[in-house]
Chains A and B, each alone.
Chain A
Amino acid sequence: MGELVVFVIFAPLALVGALTMVAARNPVHSAMGLLMTLFSVAVFYVSNNGHFIAAVQVIVYAGAIMTLFLFVIMLIGVDSAQDNQEVLPNQRPIAVALGLALLGLVLAAGSQGWVPRGTGSPVNGTIENVSDELFGAWILPFEVTSLLLIIASVGTIALAQFRPRAIAGDEADESAVDGELV
């Protein structure tokens, strides 16, 4: 019964957040909508006994990744005017139709039965249980993801070092000064 109450409260919140993210003109409002959806998903993790990943969801997604998004939004400025014009004709109706078609197909496929009947043994996603699983059978994929994170960090530093050289003739002087500073 408690789970039903939680679902009824947070499922609309997740949907409203997602729709806000897509519909908002201002990218900061989009980020806030996504934040609401991420929190709601964290609540659903808890009601599915995933306590550890719910904490990770709040810390990593709602904390780190959304902060990164907001940093970049502030860095490159909030320009909402460019989003009004569409280059392709009929882009928006076709996009909405394709989204609805995707939803209809997924729901039709799922109506045959989403998940096969399982063992029914209760799952308890505490830190101890998840780490037993993670550092037992999944130790090699875990190490590979650490390698992935290092590669991503190095690649980001390489991108951050990038400075545009002379783009056009009239900007040559400015670029030359930039090059010297670098």
Chain B
Amino acid sequence: MAEIELKTAPADFRFPTTNQTRHCFTRYIEFHRCLAAKGEESDECVRFAKYYRSLCPGEWIERWNEQRENGSFPGPL
């Protein structure tokens, strides 16, 4: 049985306060920008995906994914 390393999104100096809403949002945008820049299959974006999945509630991610599909996502992608 392999040991699992405990790892999560690191503390980000851009978001040092209690309010982490923008941290989650920024990581989500970073991931999709990364995909756009490096291509869908790129491995470099995996860590951004891990970060936003760690930080954002599942419900939010679902909603944003829907919004992206509908083209109504409010953020800069």
Are A and B a genuine interacting pair, yes or no? no
